[in-house]
Structure 1
Amino acid sequence: MSLSASESNVLKNQKPNRSSRPERRVEALLADSLAFSLTCAATLVESVLAGGNLTDAFEATLARHPEWSDATRGAVRDLAWGTLRDYGRGDAVLRQLLHKPLPEAIHALLLVALHRLESRPEQAHTVVNQAVDAAEFVMAPLKGVVNGVLRNRLRNQAALDAELRADQAAYYRHPAWWVERLRASFPDAWEAALAAGNARPPMALRVNRLRGSVEAYAAELAAAGQGFRRLANDALVLDKPLAVAALPGFAAGRASVQDAGAQWAARWLDLAPGQRVLDACAAPGGKSAHILETAPVALVALELDAVRSRRIADNFARLGLAAEVRTVDCRDVATWWDGKPFDRILADVPCSASGVARRHPDIKWLRRPDDIARFAAQQAGILDALWPTLAPGGKLLYVTCSVFDEENAQQIERFCQRHADAQRLPLDGLPARQLLPAADHDGFYYALLAKRS
């Protein structure tokens, strides 16, 4: 879209007025209006475009607005998360329609409005009008630009969409380098994995077997009319997400929300009563809790961040579990290890989180290709540090929520080359398990190693 002379002058002279950013003036909009949700979501998107973390920004916004209803919180979250899942497409559309850059706040608002237009095309007229109302509060002199861009998008949708098909980031809604890595590693499954990565994530439950059976809990869900699928690892994947307060016995610790792919860890650790078990990177504690629900073991849970350590303790308290939780760097073994070897180690290491990007869509656009090598080096350091703490004959389960080979299969191959006493064990008949994002679960990698006696 070409800008008029007056609009061009506005762009040259108008700087984002930080005193009138959406979170300062949004109260002037009706809280149940689409304009309100568009404005608040745009603020979150703007923070990510500046390099911020989406979840942190959202939680900070909620802390400033405790008066928001569940409906408002949900609407703002859906718009912000959806916009960033689709950012590659929205950004490509704006490149086609704009000849000059816009202030960050208006750019973010347009991205949110474009996402809404694509996800709710039947509401096109309302979306445009509400986006213009939002622009009135974000940066009033540019509301005409917002109106013009959105209407131009609607008028020229077919032609613009044809051009977008040639743009990998726009078509697959992932960075081009990400697409190429997946295509090379999974030539038969990469497109399905990318499509799943653009969808809303499923909500899965883990039943606390110390407080009831999976069968009994499933029966309660069915009696309440809640549809679900029971998977091979006993994860219950809900047909529709529920607020945790609506889950039977959640506050009493009868169930937890945990992705179905993450629920393989406790099973594949091959646990037995009385074992000494280490969860080396434990926060927020879901896998640790599952270990304790599976077998009566002596568990040590380590976490580097103090705030996240408290989340582990909170989860244990709700579920009625007990373990030793320590806030330390697992690589600094001398500061936390008492010299008694562990029978089992869960190494759920920091990674690119590329397998859970649909839950944290800012990851797709903030990650850079050279980040993967940095994560791989950190993972190697953790594995090398933990290996001496494993007892001969003991087992270490290596886990990432990544889909990139450098963090997964290549990492384990390099580790085994460095450690002659490391033996790879099969997982359900396969050398390792790479779960790609799918309808029932996120993306995870699992490899099981034994220390030769």
Structure 2
Amino acid sequence: MLLTQRLAAQAVTAVLAGRNLTDTLTAQRSRHSLEPRQRAAIQDISYGTLRRYGEVSFVLAKLLSRPDIDPDIRGLLACGIQQLAWGKAAPHAVVDFAVQVASKINGGRAKGLVNAVLRNFLRQRDSLLAAAQADELASSNHPAWWLAAMQEAYPQDWHSVLAANNQHPPMSLRVNRRKISRDEYLQRLQQAGLDGEALGDDGIRLLAPVPVDRLPGFTEGLCSVQDFGAQWAAPLLGVEDGMRVLDACCAPGGKTGHLLERAALDLLALDADAGRLQRVRANLDRLGLHATLKQGDAGKPASWWDGQPFDRILADVPCSASGVARRNPDIKWLRRPEDFAQFATQQAQMLDALWGCLKPGGRLLYVTCSVFVQENNNQLAEFIARHADARQLPLPAALPANGQLLPNERHDGFFYALLEKV
């Protein structure tokens, strides 16, 4: 547990210093020989701490006499508070191991502080957590600017949006209809002792998440793990056999696979990152599907486009990823308000460039995994104002009319807008 606590604290410290959590955990695993249970515990502690960092930070402010403590000690204390407040480990073990980790930081000068703060928290646990819950900002577990933006954009729903971001995400599957029907796969799950709920055309939400190696036929390509919100892309695009289709920014390939499961397509899967394209290839190979994979910038077609227009384009553009913050809790603390200007510029450039690759009568689906209006309805309105030949098509009744899916117990947050070139 000592190594687990030390690496979890280092991961949280790295995020608070501006580094990506997934990259940090990946780097740790390359440096240390970690058992699966250790990797799971490190992820559990670091994810849990960042999900509830608003409350944790509030509590630390009450317990510390001064805010400017060593960042490594703050990360260690944050993880300790999270474990003592919501974890399952024995409190005396959490405190003891935290003190041992502190003894290795800067000559151990802060081990007394760590011991005193964590024991003081245990004495005042209930009152401190109640005070954090009573504080609107702390209990939201989001930065103040994010809280304010959600309150403005969703005056009726902001509380549920932020609450969903702080929960564990659901685990949803997409059944490969080329190999098995959804009802048949539900039976396979039941035979394996797993319970699931049917969603949409091809989806299943597991009532309890499991490792993929417990999913019947996963390695044979019978199913994929994909959030139900993301499973709307392929049916909305309305692909049919023989169509020429572009999946721009395709990695990691979930939507690529879904498109090919629904129709026999001439599909170009494009992504700027060669390493991520390898992951797309691996996913398609597992599913028994084929696409042409090419590395390239979706905003600069001259470097990859052969001039033949596409019937359909899936524009899953780079965004803040605010709709999937519960899967990536570091996003809440890494994003800044000024990031949206850069995202908006990149999104607009990609949309304009991709529109020129679409044939008349063709359709483009604009997708983000964001809940911020700057990236969604605002971006869409500006695009339509620039292009007189763009007509927005209505979405199915099962989706919100404005295209904005907010995160809930069934899916993450996504935005969809279907455009036709008239």
Please report the TM-score for the alignment, with normalisation by the length of structure 2: 0.95
2:417 corresponds to 1:447:
yes
1:436 to 396, 400, 406: 406
Distance (whole Å) between structure 2 residues aligned to residue 121 and residue 203 of structure 1: 22
Aligned to 1:124: 91
2:184 to 203, 216, 238: 216
Between 146-155 and 404-413, report the one with greater CA deviation. Answer: 146-155
Aligned to 2:149: 181
Distance (whole Å) between structure 2 residues aligned to residue 222 and residue 237 of structure 1: 13
Correspondence list, 1:254-403, <5 A? 254-403=222-371
Aligned to 1:15: none
Report the CA distance between 1:158 and its aligned residue: 4.2
Identity level (%): 50
Report the CA distance between 1:444 and its aligned residue: 0.4
The one-letter code sitting in structure 1 at the alignment partner of 2:10 is: T
Report the CA distance between 1:321 and its aligned residue: 1.1
8 Å CA contact 1:402, 1:408 repeated in 2: yes
1:79 to 13, 36, 45: 45
Distance (whole Å) between structure 2 residues aligned to residue 138 and residue 302 of structure 1: 45
Report the CA distance between 1:159 and its aligned residue: 4.1
Report the CA distance between 1:132 and its aligned residue: 2.2
Distance (whole Å) between structure 2 residues aligned to residue 238 and residue 146 of structure 1: 40
Correspondence list, 1:3-82, <5 A? 33=1, 35-65=2-32, 67-82=33-48
8 Å CA contact 1:233, 1:264 repeated in 2: no
The one-letter code sitting in structure 2 at the alignment partner of 1:435 is: L
Residues 1:176 and 1:393: Cα distance change in structure 2 (over 3 Å): same
Report the CA distance between 1:165 and its aligned residue: 4.4
Report the CA distance between 1:369 and its aligned residue: 0.8
8 Å CA contact 1:431, 1:447 repeated in 2: no
Report the CA distance between 1:208 and its aligned residue: 1.2
The one-letter code sitting in structure 1 at the alignment partner of 2:414 is: F
Residues 1:153 and 1:289: Cα distance change in structure 2 (over 3 Å): same
Aligned to 1:23: none
8 Å CA contact 1:86, 1:173 repeated in 2: yes
Distance (whole Å) between structure 1 residues aligned to residue 174 and residue 181 of structure 2: 11
Report the CA distance between 1:184 and its aligned residue: 1.2
Distance (whole Å) between structure 1 residues aligned to residue 260 and residue 31 of structure 2: 37
Please report the TM-score for the alignment, with normalisation by the length of structure 1: 0.89
Residues 1:138 and 1:233: Cα distance change in structure 2 (over 3 Å): farther
Aligned to 2:70: 103
2:132 corresponds to 1:169:
no
The one-letter code sitting in structure 2 at the alignment partner of 1:441 is: H
Q: Deviations over 1:8-40 (max 9, x none)?
A: xxxxxxxxxxxxxxxxxxxxxxxxx3x332111
The one-letter code sitting in structure 2 at the alignment partner of 1:86 is: R
Distance (whole Å) between structure 2 residues aligned to residue 135 and residue 226 of structure 1: 42
Q: Deviations over 1:365-389 (max 9, x none)?
A: 0100111222112111110111011
1:417 to 385, 393, 397: 385
8 Å CA contact 1:168, 1:176 repeated in 2: no
8 Å CA contact 2:55, 2:129 repeated in 1: no
8 Å CA contact 1:261, 1:435 repeated in 2: yes
Between 131-140 and 89-98, report the one with greater CA deviation. Answer: 131-140
Report the CA distance between 1:141 and its aligned residue: 2.9
Residues 1:410 and 1:142: Cα distance change in structure 2 (over 3 Å): same
Specify every segment of 5 or more residues in structure 1 that has no aligned partner in the other structure, as ranges: 1-32
Q: Deviations over 1:196-225 (max 9, x none)?
A: 100111111111111211111111111111
Distance (whole Å) between structure 2 residues aligned to residue 132 and residue 439 of structure 1: 38
The one-letter code sitting in structure 2 at the alignment partner of 1:184 is: E
Residues 1:106 and 1:252: Cα distance change in structure 2 (over 3 Å): same
Between 222-231 and 390-399, report the one with greater CA deviation. Answer: 222-231
Aligned to 2:119: 151
